[in-house]
Structure 1
Amino acid sequence: MKDETKLCHLGRPHEGLRMVNPAVERGSTVVFPSYDDFRGRGRPKYYGRHGTDTHEALREAVMALEGAEGVTLTSSGLSAVNMAILAYAKPGTEVLVTDSTYDPVRAFCDQYLAPRGVDVRYYDPLIGGGIRKLITEKTALIHCESPGSLTFELQDLPAICEAAGDVPVTVDNTWGAGHFYKPLQLGATISIQSATKYLGGHSDVFLGTIASRTAKAAKTIFKTAQLLGNATSPDDVYTVLRGMRTLHIRLAEHEVQGLALARWLEEREEVARVLHPGLPSHPQHELWKRDFTGASGLFSVVLKRGDEAYTRRFIDKLNFYALGYSWGGYESLCLPAWPATCRSQGAWREERQVLRFHAGLEAIEDLTADLDQAFAAANQEPLPAP
């Protein structure tokens, strides 16, 4: 089946008189009809914290989308990344983490892993196969994110996976949503998504997914989730599964909207650079064409001016772009960012203001007109004193 068909059919009941969608099954206690059933192996469910039939429906859909042998659901995208790292990182080992990683992941590595005896080394996201030189006998995990948060560098995942050998490789796949990007097919051990974003699609739920390429990796992740007391609400799980039914339609429109906005912004005199992998101007555009089948609606721009007064006036004048964290819903967003504050490898040297945009589903004419009037207002802001 193609993705479009999988998204419409998997995780649905298919026998007897039934509703088209699976039911929301809530519960903590599972009761058994007999002692032998209680003691039996291969019980499909035995305690609500480990999931109900509602959870199984979403796991089935994500497994099919990502091409995985197993999927663990977590309470958020951040918890999914951190749990995957914890499954392999032990005191005395080291993890290699892309320098372009999501900043809360960096905080987890620096403030939780490092004090507990796990060495964390950040690497240039453009390192590719050169990561082989960083791998030692202590390396327990390589964590990738492609494209990178805020700055949108693409990683050469097949080259990294080949260099990694037996070292597990995890990838934050939220931007590609499992539809435009297939890390497990490119050699990664684990593909992670913040289902809060495109899988849910409506900015009204938190959830994370950890998809494992092998049964061994799936067992390792599941065991870690058990030990950490991981649990997810069946109502949240149902909401994400419902959102997935239209993922391919929404992503196609987000791609059109995002590229249209990115091209429009490339022509603005106020903009120094647009950071969108789908544009020919992006340094890793050829890599995007090789490994991705599309682009989502998230990208950044670097403004020529970097003073806060200019940024403040621009953002406060916007009408159709909300100011807020997260992304992946139907609404457009504009978020100021300062990537230099969370980088350590020198690959990002830009000191000017970065704005991260999420292209929503509004009319493109309204979105560009809104940007035009916001730029006009910001351009009236006097230059800061030397």
Structure 2
Amino acid sequence: MAAAKRGSPLDRRRACGDFVDMDPLALDPYSFQMSPPPPRHDPAPGADFETLCAHFGEDRMAQRGAVAVPIYQASTFMFPDSAAWEQREAPDSPYYEYTRVGNPTTAVLEAKIARLEHGNWALAFGSGMGAIAAAINACVHAGAHVVASGTIYWPTRRYLRDYLPRFGVETTFVDSCDPADFEAAIRPNTRLMYLESPTSGLFEMPDVAPIAAAARARGVVTVFDNSWATPCFQTPLDLGCDLVVHSATKFIGGHSDVVAGLVAGREDTLRRRVFRELELLGSVCDPFAAWLLIRGLRTLKVRMEQHQRSGLALARFLEQHPAVRRVYHPGLESHPQYAIGRRQLRGYSGLFSFELHDQSREATNRFMDRTRLFTIGVSWGGYESLVIGGTFISKDPQQPAWIIRLHVGLEATEDLIADVKQALES
């Protein structure tokens, strides 16, 4: 594991005497040893994304030649002798102890995600919100302040707005698209900057690099939710962020059959803090869920390219339809932050939204009731196309009350366009 970088936000806080009382090793003389470092087996050094998804972190000869990663469905791991038991606390210990704090199947997943996100480590959780909460908790304490994008994922917003104040943590929500707003909101007690790009609902594109740079200059940790783009299309650590979180339930899983979350980063100090949350709160990713995510990664690039093709085709169709007032897709030239998206993203997923000229609840519900391939359902990132309608947070008082969000699945592009067309026109 890499040591904390010189000049990192945590280095600056430590120099000022902050975080001393938050050191996981100082809080409790007893703590489970972290799992062994994830396997770094790399059969093709310098390989491209697809090859890394398929092979990185897997030593198949150590798996008795099995093509698929074994599922270590065990709660406890045994030690061969007392010497091995004593060695469990060594940094280079090869032994696992208890699945809540480490499992060989989960370690392969974590190795892959760390490599794909251009990080040094990753940790797997039992849900996306488990990962998000752990990343946030690892960076704040009573009396701390958070700056967050105003249009982030609704449960994350609720966690910051409603849950953390119980523990003395305050959050300021700012204009997602104005880097100056983020910097102006930083206070002496600000510990965390929380971002999404694109944001939920309205798919605004914050310019991440200057926001992260401003946070780093003030000793503030930046956490970024990369669930929409995945490391296939965006690597936030390269933009200056400190932690990346995922709802792995979405595109990484890709088949609507697993609930899980991920956190990735570069600094070992942050890994220890995030691991502390995993260890004590117990939001652990079980081995079978980890195996499903490993399976999902093998086809991630292929699926994301299809989501992109169909999503852009459908967005362009909607943009030209007379019943549609506006389409919120960062891949459209009409998007206000299109240039930022072209600079930050390597591609686009299949999740976007639009509004009808008739901006009523009734019109929204009529559209949802008429679609056949787009079924009504929450979440996104699976093979199936989904639609929901609702209200989304915006600072713009002219923002319509009701918009429609589409998750464009893996069905034939022409069939999906035909389905939306008949729903708009029937």
Whether 1:337 aligns to 2:390 is yes
Q: Out of 71, 91, 98, which is 1:24 matched to?
A: 71
TM-score (norm 2): 0.85
TM-score (norm 1): 0.94
RMSD: 1.3
Report the alpha carbon displacement of residue 211 of structure 1 after superposing the two structures with TM: 0.4
Report the alpha carbon displacement of residue 130 of structure 1 after superposing the two structures with TM: 4.2
The answer to whether the Cα contact below 8 Å between 1:197 and 1:327 also exists between their aligned partners in 2 is yes
Q: Match of 2:410, as an amino acid?
A: L
Find the residue that maps to 1:178 and give its secondary structure. Answer: helix
Q: Out of 281, 291, 297, which is 1:238 matched to?
A: 291
Q: Out of 67, 83, 98, which is 2:149 matched to?
A: 98
Whether 1:179 aligns to 2:258 is no
Q: Which stretches in structure 2 are left out of the alignment for 5+ residues? A: 1-46
Tell me which moved more, 12-21 or 100-109. 12-21
Find the residue that maps to 1:199 and give its secondary structure. Answer: coil
The match for 2:98 is 47
What is the rounded CA distance, in whole Å, between the counterparts of 2:78 and 2:180 in structure 1? Answer: 52
Whether 1:147 aligns to 2:193 is no
Whether 1:9 aligns to 2:62 is no
Question: CA 1:174 to 1:48, structure 2 compared with 1: closer, same or farther past 3 Å?
Answer: same
Q: Deviations over 1:157-188 (max 9, x none)?
A: 10011101221000000011111001001110
The match for 1:367 is 416
Q: Match of 1:182, as an amino acid?
A: T
Whether 1:60 aligns to 2:107 is no
Report the alpha carbon displacement of residue 15 of structure 1 after superposing the two structures with TM: 2.5
What is the rounded CA distance, in whole Å, between the counterparts of 2:113 and 2:396 in structure 1? Answer: 34
What is the rounded CA distance, in whole Å, between the counterparts of 1:243 and 1:181 in structure 2? Answer: 18
Q: Deviations over 1:283-303 (max 9, x none)?
A: 011001111100000001021
The match for 1:313 is 366
The answer to whether the Cα contact below 8 Å between 1:101 and 1:144 also exists between their aligned partners in 2 is yes
The match for 2:162 is 111
The answer to whether the Cα contact below 8 Å between 1:189 and 1:213 also exists between their aligned partners in 2 is yes
The answer to whether the Cα contact below 8 Å between 2:198 and 2:228 also exists between their aligned partners in 1 is yes
The answer to whether the Cα contact below 8 Å between 2:224 and 2:245 also exists between their aligned partners in 1 is yes
Q: Deviations over 1:300-352 (max 9, x none)?
A: 10211122222222111110001000000111111102014xx5xx2464124
Tell me which moved more, 236-245 or 216-225. 216-225
Q: Deviations over 1:60-97 (max 9, x none)?
A: 11011101111111111111111110111111011111
Whether 1:36 aligns to 2:83 is yes
Find the residue that maps to 1:159 and give its secondary structure. Answer: helix
Q: Deviations over 1:180-209 (max 9, x none)?
A: 001001110011111101111001100100
Report the alpha carbon displacement of residue 275 of structure 1 after superposing the two structures with TM: 0.5
Q: Match of 2:403, as an amino acid?
A: V
> How many residue pairs were aligned?
373
What is the rounded CA distance, in whole Å, between the counterparts of 1:375 and 1:101 in structure 2? Answer: 29
Q: Deviations over 1:238-259 (max 9, x none)?
A: 0011010010010011100000
Whether 1:356 aligns to 2:405 is yes
